[in-house]
Chain A
Amino acid sequence: MDLSAINPLLFVAGFLVAATPLIFAALGELVVEKSGVLNLGVEGMMIIGAICGFATAVETGSPLLGFAAAAVGGAALSLLFAFLTQITLANQVASGLALTLFGLGFSALLGQSYVGVKPPRLAEVNFGPLHDIPVLGPILFSHDIILYLGFAMVVAVWAMLKFTRAGLILRAVGESHDAAHALGYKVVRIRTLAIMFGGACAGLGGAYISLIRVPQWTEGMTAGVGWIALALVVFASWKPWRLLLGAYLFGGITQLQLNLQGAGVAIPVEYLAMSPYIITILVLVVLSADKSAAPASLGRNFHASS
């Protein structure tokens, strides 16, 4: 065992990167679920975002344009879900699963000519002297702009849900769409916007994997992150700060177990490998003492006639 082989600064910087796709995808889903819609298509929207972002970044040479395209791609795919569930009132669970299947297949088709291509690199934000601060510099001030955007979005969503009228309306629609409708709010329109926001966030998360974390395009490369994001929303009891904590916890333990393995720690590898899931479940159980429950209208379809 040689724990000195682990560089704590690189480890922390590494898990911030590993957690970012989860933060984006889970945050988007949180807003969607707050509006009373359950979209199980996160994985599909992420992978579409991954390829849209990758292709655009390669073609234009600009990673930032790539991220913009990823958000547009994810939102566009989510519109399909919005149409199915909000207009034709299809079942949300089935539509979400179909969205995932469709996204995985369609992205494979789109990505055929991008296998093995190296994407342009997104530079780190230049913080000037801040970067040279010992310890804090390499951990906090040596990342790309998208990572900071993820953090900023958590703050923004939290503030929006808690302090603004728009947040109140969104929550009202999620808790009781009939009451919100009676008050004159356009339930379908609000939900569609929430679904699009969720799609855009999932797309950004997917592109973060294909452009920064890996960086390459491979079919099916999100490999289940979308499902973990879905679980994370429940684990966070629909609260943005807990979601951030959960994502860092999950990303951190995942990175830690790889680091410990590399350093040859004597804990059996099986326990290390399953620890991210176990600890996340444990925290979930502990936090379930909390009264906050799912939005009351979650997963229920709305029609003005009902």
Chain B
Amino acid sequence: MKLSTLLASAALALGLAGGAYADAHGKTKVGFVFVGPVGDGGWTYEHNQGRLAVEAEFGDKVETVFVESVAEGPDSERVMTQMALDGADLIFTTSFGYMDPTINVAAKFPDVKFEHATGYKRADNVSTYSARFYEGRAIQGHIAGKMTKSNIIGYIGSFPIPEVIRGINSAYIHAKKVNPDVEFKIVWAYTWFDPAKEADAAKVLIEQGADVVLQHTDSTAPQAAAQEAGNVITFGQASDMAQYAPMPRVSSIIDDWAPYYIARTKAVMDGTWTSTDTWDGIGPGMVGIGEISDAVPADVKEEALALKASIADGSYHPFTGPLKKQDGSDFLAEGETADDGTLAGMNFYVEGITGDIPN
């Protein structure tokens, strides 16, 4: 009885989700799998903006479908399979934890194209794409190092994956460069989206003396917590989060997926789609830096913009030696820059950060 009712309700839930996939013969069908709700105001919000841009670009020729708040892991496999069965031609899976499920489902549907965000496993019908968020983190680190008075910078991490660790390192290197006394306090939330937990993490960091809070989670809750505390600065993550400007949010990293999504959809329509690995940064526009607010002193703002310009034109790489790893061993020699392979698999802190990376 219990089991059958559970099955029945699961079927009901599937049916509700499935209702969104109307039949659309002849149209190119593009599916999106989201890790949070489209209204999270951060990561998923921007991916959904990309989806809407695809609709706006191609009008009647495309149909887009999406499923939001899909848990990473096995459940996402079910969602992707359902999308493929419903006739999707191209499926974007927009979180790191969908990596293996994407590869598994792609093997079962060789005619469907898959695009996995922020991962590193590819196949004939699986591309990967990501943005060089660490370029934006360098600018945040610079502003944070200049503006902190307590010399304690709080950092809310989601999961200890290379993308997040890269961001921590990049922010730390550039904060340390302008402020040798700076200290990072890192709290892992073990979630991408849980506003209450994110707010708690921000409050704890603030209580422990942080007057700058950087976040690598998806909701705007840390911004609200910082606003409540007053005199704490934050940065918009993944999305501009401009509703919290000019304080606490003093700038932001904005992910702009729209051009990429449009180009890839076009490639599927034209039959020119091939498996690729895309990793673009500030230069090509995939990473945007949100308006630096008036809460930042003019000279710091100028330096930050100069840093942004030098990263955009390629004259400066955020990971430029001399740099050592946390354990004191050499990472990059004087003038050497990190190659993409090292960056993609980064699993160590740079020298100066305290604490261990959970594994």
Determine how close the nearest CB of chain B comes to the CB of A89; give it in whole angstroms. Answer: 13
B201 within 8 A of A: yes
Partner of B16, one of A101, A209, A218, A255: A101
Cβ of A5 and Cβ of B39 under 8 Å apart? Answer: no
What are the residues of chain B within 8 A of A14 when measuring CB–CB? 200, 203-204, 207
A85 to chain B, nearest CB (A): 12
Contact pick for B186, options A225, A254, A261, CB 8 Å: A261
A278 at the interface (CB under 8 A from B): no
Q: Are B5 and A223 in contact (CB under 8 A)?
A: no
Query: Are B9 and A94 in contact, with the CB atoms below 8 A?
Result: yes
Asked if residues A116 and B41 are in contact (CB atoms below 8 Å), the reply is yes
Give the Cβ gap from B41 to chain A, nearest Cβ, in Å: 6
Known: A18-B200, A220-B69, A269-B358. A116 touches B220 (CB 8 A): yes
Is A111 part of the contact surface with B, judged by Cβ < 8 Å? yes
Look across to chain A and name the residue whose beta carbon is closest to the beta carbon of B357.
A269
- With a 10 A CB-CB cut-off, give which of B194, B200, B358 has the most chain A CB atoms: B200
Which residue of chain A is the closest to B207 with respect to CB atoms? A10
B273 at the interface (CB under 8 A from A): no
- The verdict on B355 contacting chain A, using a C-beta distance below 8 Å, is yes
Q: How far is the CB of A47 from chain B (nearest CB, A)?
A: 11
A13, closest chain B residue (CB): B207
Query: Are the CB atoms of B208 and A259 closer together than 8 Å?
Result: yes
Residue of A nearest to B11 (CB): A94
A261 CA to B223 CA, complexed, in Å = 20
Q: A14-B204, A225-B196 are in contact. Are A101 and B13 (CB under 8 A)?
A: yes
- Contacts of B321-357 to chain A: CB distance below 8 A: 354-356
- Give the distance in Å from the alpha carbon of A214 to the alpha carbon of B220 in the complex: 9
Contact of A270 among B191, B204, B227, B358 (CB under 8 A): B358
Contacts of B12 on A, CB cut-off 8 Å?
94, 97-98
Q: Is there a chain B Cβ closer than 8 Å to A115's Cβ?
A: yes
Alpha-carbon distance between A98 and B13 when the two chains are bound, in angstroms: 8
Q: Does A175 contact B (CB under 8 A)?
A: no
Asked whether, in the complex, the Cβ of B224 is within 8 Å of the Cβ of A93, the reply is no
Bound-state Cα–Cα, A93 to B5, Å? 7
For chain B, the bracket of interface size reads 35 or more
Contacts of A223 in B (CB 8 A): 191, 193-197
Tell whether B205 is near chain A: CB-to-CB under 8 Å: yes
Flag whether B190 is at the interface (Cβ < 8 A). Answer: yes
| CB <8 Å contact, B39 and A258 | no
- Residues facing A in B303-328 (CB within 8 A) are none
Contact status of A264 and B354, CB under 8 A, knowing A218-B39, A218-B221, A224-B194: yes
Query: Is the Cβ of A216 less than 8 Å from the Cβ of B221?
Result: yes
Q: Check A134 for interface membership: any CB of B closer than 8 A.
A: no
**In-complex Cβ contact of A97 among B9, B160, B227 (8 A):** B9
Contact B200 A112 (CB under 8 A): no
Q: Which residues of A contact B207 (CB under 8 A)?
A: 6-7, 10-11, 14, 259
Interface residues of A in 97-111 (CB under 8 A from B): 97-98, 101, 108, 111
With beta carbons under 8 angstroms apart, the residue of B40, B160, B187 that contacts A219 is B40
Say which residue of A108, A213, A222 sits within 8 Å of B39 (CB atoms): A108
Binary A-proximity of B28-40 (CB < 8 A = 1, otherwise 0): 0000000011111
Distance between Cα atoms of A268 and B359 in the complex (Å): 9
Confirm or deny: A279 has a beta carbon within 8 angstroms of a beta carbon on chain B.
no
Are the C-beta atoms of B208 and A262 separated by less than 8 Å?
yes
Task: Give the chain A neighbours of B194 by CB distance below 8 A.
Answer: 223-224
Q: Is B263's beta carbon under 8 Å from chain A?
A: no
**Do B195 and A216 touch across chains, with their CB atoms under 8 A apart?**
yes
A249-281 vs B, CB cutoff 8 Å, 1 = contact: the mask equals 000001100110111101011100100000000
Please pick, from A93, A97, A111, A214, the residue contacting B199 in the complex, using a CB distance under 8 A: A214
Could you tell me if A214 and B225 are in contact, using CB atoms closer than 8 angstroms? yes
B200–A215 touching, CB < 8 Å? no
In B153-211, which residues have CB < 8 Å from any A CB? 154, 160, 185-188, 190-191, 193-197, 199-201, 203-205, 207-209
Q: Which of the residues B5, B41, B205, B224 comes within 8 Å of A215, measured between beta carbons? A: B224
B208 A118 Cβ-Cβ under 8 A: no
Chain A residues lying within 8 Å of B197, measured Cβ to Cβ, are: 223, 254
Is the CB–CB distance between B5 and A94 below 8 Å? yes
Is B8 engaged at the interface, CB distance under 8 Å to the other chain? Answer: yes
Say whether B196 contacts A255, CB under 8 Å.
no
Q: Give CA–CA (A18, B356) in the complex, Å.
A: 27
**Cross-chain contact of A220 among B9, B37, B188, B201 (Cβ < 8 A):** B37
Contacts of A97 in B (CB 8 A): 9, 12-13
Determine the distance from Cα of A10 to Cα of B229 in the docked complex, in whole angstroms: 13
B6 at interface, CB cutoff 8 A: yes
Q: How far is the CB of A259 from chain B (nearest CB, A)?
A: 5
Q: Using CB atoms, name the residue of chain B closest to A10.
A: B207
Q: How far is the CA of A215 from the CA of B196 in the complex (A)?
A: 9
> Do residues A258 and B187 form an inter-chain contact, with CB atoms below 8 A?
yes
State A178–B227 Cα separation when bound (angstroms).
Answer: 55
**18 examples of A-B residue contacts, CB within 8 angstroms:** A7-B207, A7-B208, A11-B207, A91-B5, A93-B5, A97-B9, A112-B39, A116-B41, A116-B243, A118-B224, A218-B41, A219-B37, A223-B196, A254-B200, A261-B188, A262-B185, A262-B204, A273-B188
Interface set of A (CB-CB < 8 Å, partner B): 5-7, 10-11, 14, 18, 21, 91, 93-94, 97-98, 101, 108, 111-112, 115-118, 209, 213-216, 218-225, 254-255, 258-259, 261-264, 266, 268-270, 273
Chain B residues engaging chain A, CB cutoff 8 angstroms: 2, 5-6, 8-9, 12-13, 16, 36-41, 69, 154, 160, 185-188, 190-191, 193-197, 199-201, 203-205, 207-209, 219-221, 223-225, 227-228, 241, 243-244, 354-356, 358
4 A-B pairs closest in CB distance: A116-B243, A219-B39, A219-B37, A269-B358
